[in-house]
Structure 1
Amino acid sequence: MRELVYYAAVSLDGRIAAPDGAFDAFPIEGDHIDAINAEWADTVPGPLYDALGLTAPRGRFSTVLMGWNTFAAGLPLTDDPYPHLEQIVFSRTRTAADVGAGVRLTADDPRGVVADLKAQDGADIWLCGGGVLAAQLRDQIDRLVLKVNPVVFGDGLPLFAGGYAPDVFVRERSRAFDSGVVMNEYRRA
């Protein structure tokens, strides 16, 4: 069965972006980037993958899920960020004219969409963000992969923007990089 994997960069204080949605405070150079490009190539946007001349195999994920704000962060560069994946963007206010041809925009309940996706054949499902969508899908997340960055935001968009409801995850792997980034992988207990 396919798993829903929330793979995201996060600050030391649990923020995935600044209050305005910017995420440029996260370091974009260092040995952690080499590991991402080699081991998590599906998460590198198509235009960047091509521009960097990457050849790392893809196939860890076959679908990416995004809330509108996460998708919109890339709009200055492309309206089709992950052409190698089935792309699903959740919004109740946008129309198909707001996304590229390779992107499915839906106002459907994310929980039902994920249940349907999990029942289909394919590689895992990447929950790219944001925090509101992650909060809606929290009980369906099978794995968390958090790139913990050595920066404190103080304020901003949280990893999960929802109410208090503890869920237990078990750490499977932790990998520290010279850049200061620590990649932690957890599985639902």
Structure 2
Amino acid sequence: MQPLAAGLTSPYAHLRQIVFSRSLTSGTDPSVEVTAEDPIALVRGLKQEEGLGIWLCGGAELAGQLLPEIDELIVKQYPIVAGSGIPLFRAEFSPRVFTLTDSGVFGKGNLILTYARTSG
């Protein structure tokens, strides 16, 4: 279920939230910024600002657009097969190399895998 469908207008209220949208001009919550700006340009600008890291919560389309700017991947894996799904990244074939830097296994077999982009 999508956050708005569940009545949740600011799912990460403790963070600065920016929503990329081609159709929305404003959000349903004043603490959520809505933009149609180029994602790469916006993320490059955010990287110049003071603060902590940038988290991407979104679909394969946005992740594919931002792939050149992604420095770290945190992948959650669950031991459930639900049928067809969507890719993590929807982008042109252009391999990027990441190195596993951390992992965690939880009691039910859930994994959290952290990868850092390998330069070169």
**TM-score, normalised with respect to structure 2:** 0.91
Q: What is the correspondence of 1:85-164 to structure 2 with a 5 Å cutoff?
A: 85-96=15-26, 98-164=27-93
Deviation of the 1:80 alpha carbon: 1.6
Bigger relative contact order (CA 8 A; separation at least 6): 1
Moved over 3 A (4+): none
Structure 1, unaligned runs of 5 or more: 1-21, 23-72
SS in 2 for 1:170: strand
CA distance in 1, matches of 2:39, 2:77: 26
Deviation of the 1:128 alpha carbon: 1.1
CA distance in 2, matches of 1:82, 1:183: 20
Cα deviation, 1:11-41, whole Å, max 9, x if unaligned, reads: xxxxxxxxxxx5xxxxxxxxxxxxxxxxxxx
SS in 1 for 2:94: coil
* Structure 2 partner of 1:79: 9
What is the RMSD of the two structures over their aligned residues, measured on CA atoms?
Answer: 1.2
SS in 2 for 1:124: coil
Q: Per residue, is there more strand in 1 or in 2?
A: 1
Deviation of the 1:153 alpha carbon: 3.2
Structure 2, unaligned runs of 5 or more: none
SS in 1 for 2:100: strand
Cα deviation, 1:38-96, whole Å, max 9, x if unaligned, reads: xxxxxxxxxxxxxxxxxxxxxxxxxxxxxxxxxxx101222122121110000111121
Q: What is the correspondence of 1:12-27 to structure 2 with a 5 Å cutoff?
A: none
**TM-score, normalised with respect to structure 1:** 0.59
Count of aligned pairs between the two proteins:
117
CA distance in 2, matches of 1:174, 1:81: 26
Deviation of the 1:109 alpha carbon: 0.3
Taking only the aligned residue pairs, the percentage that are identical comes to 43
